């Protein structure tokens, strides 16, 4: 891979679903301050998506999953031995965001506390800090 991988902000989805242990993902998200460490756990036996990557708070409570569009590449990087570190970035209008960095780089909160703005018509981010990402090879 040419050059260092860029840090990026990623959406966390599925907060509305309860955890198997009965814990409430939305409540746990409210307990996460910006900058708190987050753990990413691949779930290769997930019956809905073998590429799924679960997202856990510093207290070990699941807060959701990386979006399906991101799991393939992030999972591939993890399988190839790239170190992936994550921190809680924040919430905006019901969306949850984490910040990830790679290969020994510590993730840092963006200089602005603003969360990504979404294009109302297409649901796409219009904030340069979030998109477009690097071109990723097919997995």
Report all structural domains of the chain as residue ranges with CATH numbers, in order of start.
8-102 (3.30.70.2330)
Mean predicted confidence (pLDDT) in 94-113 = 88
> Rounded to 5 degrees, what are φ and ψ at 66?
-65, 150
Round to whole Å and give the CA distance between 9 and 38: 13
Tens digits of per-residue pLDDT, 8-60? 999 999 999 999 999 999 999 999 999 999 999 999 999 999 999 999 999 99
| Residue 133 or residue 40, greater confidence | 40
CA distances from 52 to 24, 29, 111, 124, 128 (A): 20, 19, 30, 21, 26
- Residue 33's φ and ψ, nearest 5 degrees, are -80, 150
pTM over cut 0.85: no
């Amino acid at each position: 891979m040419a050059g260092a991988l860029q840090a990026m902000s990623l959406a966390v989805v599925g907060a509305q679903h309860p955890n198997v242990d009965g814990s409430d993902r939305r409540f746990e998200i409210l307990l996460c301050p910006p900058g708190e460490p987050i753990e990413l756990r691949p779930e290769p036996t997930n019956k809905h998506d073998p590429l799924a990557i679960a997202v856990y708070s510093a207290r070990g409570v699941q807060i959701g999953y990386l979006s399906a569009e991101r799991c393939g590449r992030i999972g591939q990087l993890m399988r190839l031995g790239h170190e992936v570190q994550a921190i809680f970035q924040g919430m905006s209008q019901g969306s949850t965001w984490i910040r990830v960095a790679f290969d020994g780089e510590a993730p840092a909160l963006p200089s602005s506390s603003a969360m990504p703005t979404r294009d109302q018509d297409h649901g796409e981010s219009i904030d340069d800090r979030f998109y477009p990402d690097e071109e990723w090879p097919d997995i």
